[in-house]
Chain A
Amino acid sequence: KQEVTQIPAALSVPEGENLVLNCSFTDSAIYNLQWFRQDPGKGLTSLLLIQSSQREQTSGRLNASLDKSSGRSTLYIAASQPGDSATYLCAVYTGGGNKLTFGTGTQLKVEL
């Protein structure tokens, strides 16, 4: 059974800092990994999708890496802004279950 863990559970940083969010998964037989952000009471916004054959993806100030063999992914946020405050979720798509398995999320607060 695939299990996804995100560390830390919560993070508070001053504006402008570069930060790294971590995601680990137990079953390396994944099709892809997707990072989302969720604002309070809202749906999920897709940030980046990394296919199992890829090592990283970039979008603006965001960079996500994937090390499938070790079961790890990191989301790097450069020059953080208060608007980045949200919960960040990673999810892996595993062929065996044919579904997305989500981590518990990292709640990020970027302060002025």
Chain B
Amino acid sequence: KAGVTQTPRYLIKTRGQQVTLSCSPISGHRSVSWYQQTPGQGLQFLFEYFSETQRNKGNFPGRFSGRQFSNSRSEMNVSTLELGDSALYLCASSLVQGGGEQFFGPGTRLTVL
């Protein structure tokens, strides 16, 4: 069974631009969560989607948004990029919503110049 896939793996953007990251969960998994990982703040929860609905949101500004499609694939969008948005963005999928075992993808490394 294929694992969680994320595209692209690496991105370089400049301040003010916007970016869209994609995540395909494990087949059959309907929950997708997004996390941001930085050296200073560690891993922080962004949001969780289940059945195309955002179920929970972390403490991030409105520039961070996401959506989930009917096939459970998810996208995350960051608008008006700031230098501090440089991070590894990780997506995790789970069979159930809320509390299921989380399986992570390899991440997208975003660098904002």
Contact = CB atoms under 8 A, between A and B. Distances in A.
Interface in B22-62: 33, 35, 42-45, 48, 55-56, 58
Interface of B is mostly: strand
A104 B42 contact: yes
A74 to B, nearest CB: 19
Interface stretch (B64-72, B73-81, B104-112): B104-112
Interface string A27-52: 00001101010000111111001000
A97 B47 CA distance: 11
A105 to B, nearest CB: 7
A103 B44 CA distance: 10
Given A34-B101, A43-B107, A44-B90, A102 B42 contact: yes
Contacts of B55: 98
Nearest to A44: B104
Contacts of B90: 43-44
Contacts, number: 58
Nearest to B99: A31
Contacts of B33: 99-100
A95 B90 CA distance: 21
B22 to A, nearest CB: 15
Nearest to B6: A43
> Which one of A43, A97, A100 has the greatest number of beta carbons of chain B within 10 Å?
A43
A46 B103 contact: yes
Interface of B: 4, 6, 33, 35, 42-45, 48, 55-56, 58, 88, 90, 92, 98-99, 101-107, 109
Interface of A: 31-32, 34, 36, 41-46, 49, 89, 91, 93, 95, 97-105
22 contacts: A32-B99, A34-B102, A42-B106, A43-B6, A43-B106, A43-B107, A44-B90, A46-B103, A95-B98, A97-B56, A98-B48, A98-B55, A98-B98, A99-B33, A99-B45, A100-B33, A100-B45, A100-B92, A100-B102, A102-B43, A103-B42, A104-B42
